[in-house]
Structure 1
Amino acid sequence: PLAGVIFAAAGRHPIAGITAAFAGVSGGFSANILPGQLDALLFGITEAAAETILPTWDANIAGNAYFIIAMTFVFLPVIWYVTDKIIEPHLAPIIPGEAESSTAGIIKGPDTSLTQGEIQGLKRAGMACLGIVALWVFLCVGPGTPLINEDANPEARLNPLYQSLVAGFFILFLAAGWAYGSASGSINNHRDVVRMMSESMSDLSYYLVLAFAAAHFVAMFNWSNLGLIFAIKGAAVLEGSSLPDSILLALIILFGASINLFIGSASAKWALLAPVLVPMLMLLGLSPEMSTAAYRVGDGATNIITPLMPYFPLILVFCQRWQKEFGLGSLAATMLPYSILLLIAGIAITMVWVILGLPLGPGAPVEFSMQ
């Protein structure tokens, strides 16, 4: 939603901002400038699969570091091009008064200056944010340290802090919003706060209905084991293809992208595919890091076009704040160019990487040898 507000304030189409942000966060899910939690999660699964061939193989959390950095700098211009040249010119113009949510009506033009109340509100909001952050820091370092479990193992000492973050962000945004609203004049009393919260929840009604139906579909799909059958049968076909390494990896990327339409979780899909793909590619001379990198490319590209993704209905709600006629099909069609071009770019990066034999990360070559 913030991307939509920024685009609107700059005089551009807010839905273009929302879709660009969605493409960057979910379509470029694996692209990053630093290894993160996803790397640890996927390489944990990769390690278990690789040990079936080489029991002494140990996962390196930075095994895809160079590759995901390259993805970041390749995906960035792709997303810009799609947003600027393909998506935004074809979006229907925003009609004043047509938005379902009042949050869509507070955007000013790019040439409008802030009022004195708004400036004061921003100052108060900043002070409120600093106050909440200071409170949480005090709860971590103050007497008794309620958010740090000093009696737990070192890796578990921060668990109370992590568990408090949801409440912390709620209080942070509530305090900042209330401070800004009281200074700018948009909030006069607690009833205005309750009214605004009610409006926000009403925006989620579409999401709740869609998520309810999607949850039943996912449950039935899991019960049928079709995803598992599709994954195993497809992997068997790839194993017997006898194709060059670069072409084989491209097919694996397409295969992973196809499965992603039906199984949303990155770790769940990799848990299904890794025991087959990782040993297969190791026997063909490709490292576990390379198989993980190829999987990540396919997994991210189609995140943004499957309604089974948990955030897909939420993005739809954000778009409907600006155009109430913007439906599920509209969002899928809008995200499709991002998905196609990100997939093409990802396949190109992978093929070039394999052909040139570039290291995927520190101590992580493309090739693999049992010796």
Structure 2
Amino acid sequence: MKNNKVTHYLSKIEYLGNKLPHPVTIFLIFTVILFILSHILYTLDITVDFKGINPDNNKVENQTIHVISLLTSSGISHVFTNVVENFTSFVALGPVLVAMLGVGVAEKTGYLGAFIQKSVANAPKSLITPTIVLLGILSNIAASVGYVVLVPLGALVFLSFNRHPIAGLAAAFSGVAGGYSANLFLGTNDPILSGMTTEAAQIINPNYIVNATDNWFFMFVSTFLIVIIGTFITDKIVEPSLGKYDSPKHTTFNEINNKAFKWANISLAIVLVIIGLMVVPSNGILRGDNGNFIDSPFIHSIIFSMMLIFLIPGIVYGIIDHKIKNDKDAVRLMSDSLTTMSEFIVLIFFAAQFVALFEYTNIGTVLSVNGAELLKSLHVNGLTALIILILMTTMINILMAADSAKWALMAPIFIPMFMQLGVTPEVTQVAYRIGDSATNIISPLMPFFPYIVSVAEKYNKHNGIGTVVSVMLPYSIVILVLWTILFIIWYLLGIPVGPGTNTTI
């Protein structure tokens, strides 16, 4: 009965969400509202004074932020002169298109389908969902690769088991975005956030240092929590609510050419060995300074590596399977791969304008600082304030999806405040990361959200923002609640969140 009620409510959300105009129209409407709102707040001379981290020198500085109007002469000039840059610099555009050059060829030649069928042929069905969620979480080591590769792959894996592809998409997305900060290993985000936290902590204690490893214990355990949540929600709530998927267009893969599959795998192994030789040795070409792996050319170029990993075996498979007879066929397959992304590219153009203009107006910054000041004025104890911080971050995250940009703004406000409440910077950073992750999967302003919608549309042209939000909402709520409960227990027991850390000062 309870599950029926949940399904009913999710169906209502999907129905209402999909009754909204096309996402392009929605972003246009948002942009018009932003023009009007920015001018009203500008006319009222809304400003905030705060200490924030200057991204140019990574130092904490006193800053005064004004709301900028888009309807003044300078605002209109900014709009016209930055349209192209807003589009071409949008976070999701480059990674998706580059990855699709490889993934699209591997899919169209039949290699990707063959690989999935062979890989899951003998795999226990009960392990498919937790494996997809876990891989989603682990993919965050390599920045955005999980969004552009693993989310659509999750749908294909579920499809190969005759399960609903949207459930596979949701399982992967819950790990990649909902469990964004959790991981068994350190990711690219850890040194970035810890550096900002250090700068903020030194407002109170000039000698305080926060290391990249200082949240590792908590995030390691959190990985298993997110896997459990993602598996349960997918198998017990989301997939039953979706019903049976029976579109003939996507229920079968091409017949496997075993000879082509063999040589494609050999080419894949060669690609992996070549990349490995440039990455594994501490003095490898793609290692960073002093052998650094986290901040290395390899991590920064991971999307290109993933493109090669799909493209080369895809071409080899296509040549032996006679789908590729010459170089023109190979180029045509790559072109066809990008052609399927045309609607996504159009959507990204309008989404990029809104996101960039919203950031330019400083409205998000003003809201965030005022929210922080409100929390300070409540004069609550450490744990209560930390819980409020988690909830506040979830709401800010819907308007400001870039985690490092939010923390650059919030860290100089909250870190000194919580240090004065006796809470260490490392624990405050954990609270922020929980809130920053939980609502990624339901925020239309998250850079990769339009891409997730476009993947969902592949399996049903009627799928839209409402579909994705309704499917991901249970994950978001349960991850937020249970992850917060884990944090509360951890805090009350005084368990270190990382090596050599303390809970209280």
Is TM more than 0.5 here?
Answer: yes
* 137 and 255 in structure 1: CA distance in 2 versus 1, 3 angstrom threshold: closer
Alpha-carbon distance between aligned partners in 1 of 2:314 and 2:306, rounded to the nearest angstrom: 12
2:214 pairs with 1:75 = no
Deviations 1:287-331 (A, max 9, x none): 000100000000001111111112111112222221121112211
2:201: which partner in 1? 50
Offset of residue 336 of structure 1: 1.0
Offset of residue 71 of structure 1: 1.1
Secondary structure (helix, strand or coil) at the match of 2:399 reads: coil
1:284: which partner in 2? 421
1:125: which partner in 2? 264
Alpha-carbon distance between aligned partners in 2 of 1:166 and 1:62, rounded to the nearest angstrom: 25
* 221 and 193 in structure 1: CA distance in 2 versus 1, 3 angstrom threshold: same
Secondary structure (helix, strand or coil) at the match of 1:55 reads: coil
1:340: which partner in 2? 477
Alpha-carbon distance between aligned partners in 2 of 1:42 and 1:138, rounded to the nearest angstrom: 30
Offset of residue 92 of structure 1: 4.9
Alpha-carbon distance between aligned partners in 1 of 2:212 and 2:306, rounded to the nearest angstrom: 29
* 161 and 77 in structure 1: CA distance in 2 versus 1, 3 angstrom threshold: closer
Amino acid at match of 2:359: N
Offset of residue 15 of structure 1: 1.0
Maintained 8 Å contact 1:75/1:342: yes
* 185 and 88 in structure 1: CA distance in 2 versus 1, 3 angstrom threshold: farther
2:159 pairs with 1:8 = yes
Secondary structure (helix, strand or coil) at the match of 1:321 reads: helix
Offset of residue 272 of structure 1: 0.5
Amino acid at match of 1:124: W
Secondary structure (helix, strand or coil) at the match of 1:261 reads: helix
2:112: which partner in 1? none
Offset of residue 127 of structure 1: 0.9
Offset of residue 282 of structure 1: 0.2
Alpha-carbon distance between aligned partners in 1 of 2:228 and 2:285, rounded to the nearest angstrom: 42
1:305: which partner in 2? 442
Offset of residue 154 of structure 1: 4.2
2:102: which partner in 1? none
Maintained 8 Å contact 1:250/1:347: yes
Secondary structure (helix, strand or coil) at the match of 2:209 reads: coil
2:309: which partner in 1? 172
Alpha-carbon distance between aligned partners in 2 of 1:62 and 1:140, rounded to the nearest angstrom: 22
Alpha-carbon distance between aligned partners in 1 of 2:469 and 2:369, rounded to the nearest angstrom: 28
Maintained 8 Å contact 1:211/1:313: yes
* 146 and 260 in structure 1: CA distance in 2 versus 1, 3 angstrom threshold: closer
2:466 pairs with 1:329 = yes
Offset of residue 348 of structure 1: 0.8
Maintained 8 Å contact 2:195/2:211: no
Alpha-carbon distance between aligned partners in 2 of 1:77 and 1:45, rounded to the nearest angstrom: 31
Alpha-carbon distance between aligned partners in 1 of 2:185 and 2:298, rounded to the nearest angstrom: 23
Mapping for residues 239-250 of structure 1, pairs under 5 Å? 239-250=376-387
Alpha-carbon distance between aligned partners in 2 of 1:29 and 1:182, rounded to the nearest angstrom: 38
Alpha-carbon distance between aligned partners in 2 of 1:164 and 1:269, rounded to the nearest angstrom: 24
* 71 and 168 in structure 1: CA distance in 2 versus 1, 3 angstrom threshold: closer
Maintained 8 Å contact 1:75/1:345: no
Maintained 8 Å contact 2:289/2:296: no
Instruction: Return 299-308 or 196-205, whichever deviates more.
Output: 196-205
Offset of residue 85 of structure 1: 1.2
Alpha-carbon distance between aligned partners in 2 of 1:353 and 1:41, rounded to the nearest angstrom: 24
Amino acid at match of 2:393: G
Counterpart selection for 1:34 from 185, 199, 211: 185
Alpha-carbon distance between aligned partners in 2 of 1:285 and 1:187, rounded to the nearest angstrom: 65
Amino acid at match of 2:225: V
Offset of residue 268 of structure 1: 0.3
2:373 pairs with 1:236 = yes
Maintained 8 Å contact 2:162/2:251: no
Offset of residue 274 of structure 1: 0.4
Maintained 8 Å contact 2:191/2:212: yes
Maintained 8 Å contact 1:204/1:314: no
* 347 and 34 in structure 1: CA distance in 2 versus 1, 3 angstrom threshold: same
Q: Which 5+ residue runs of structure 1 have no aligned equivalent?
A: 109-113
Offset of residue 244 of structure 1: 3.1
Offset of residue 184 of structure 1: 4.0
Instruction: Return 259-268 or 204-213, whichever deviates more.
Output: 204-213
Counterpart selection for 1:59 from 175, 192, 210: 210
2:258 pairs with 1:107 = no
2:364: which partner in 1? 227
Q: Which 5+ residue runs of structure 2 have no aligned equivalent?
A: 1-151
Alpha-carbon distance between aligned partners in 2 of 1:192 and 1:27, rounded to the nearest angstrom: 39
Maintained 8 Å contact 2:196/2:411: yes
Maintained 8 Å contact 2:442/2:469: yes
RMSD of Structure 2 on Structure 1 (CA): 2.7
Offset of residue 279 of structure 1: 0.3
TM-score, normalised to structure 1, is 0.86
Alpha-carbon distance between aligned partners in 1 of 2:397 and 2:456, rounded to the nearest angstrom: 23
1:320: which partner in 2? 457
Secondary structure (helix, strand or coil) at the match of 1:300 reads: helix
Deviations 1:146-194 (A, max 9, x none): 9479xx9647999666676554443332211012233345445545434
2:174 pairs with 1:23 = yes
* 220 and 27 in structure 1: CA distance in 2 versus 1, 3 angstrom threshold: same
Alpha-carbon distance between aligned partners in 1 of 2:230 and 2:362, rounded to the nearest angstrom: 35
Alpha-carbon distance between aligned partners in 2 of 1:169 and 1:70, rounded to the nearest angstrom: 28
Maintained 8 Å contact 1:246/1:350: no
Alpha-carbon distance between aligned partners in 2 of 1:156 and 1:85, rounded to the nearest angstrom: 42
Deviations 1:269-296 (A, max 9, x none): 0011000100000000000001000000
TM-score, normalised to structure 2, is 0.64
Amino acid at match of 2:253: I
Alpha-carbon distance between aligned partners in 2 of 1:58 and 1:146, rounded to the nearest angstrom: 29
2:408 pairs with 1:257 = no
Deviations 1:15-51 (A, max 9, x none): 1001110110111000111222211110100000000
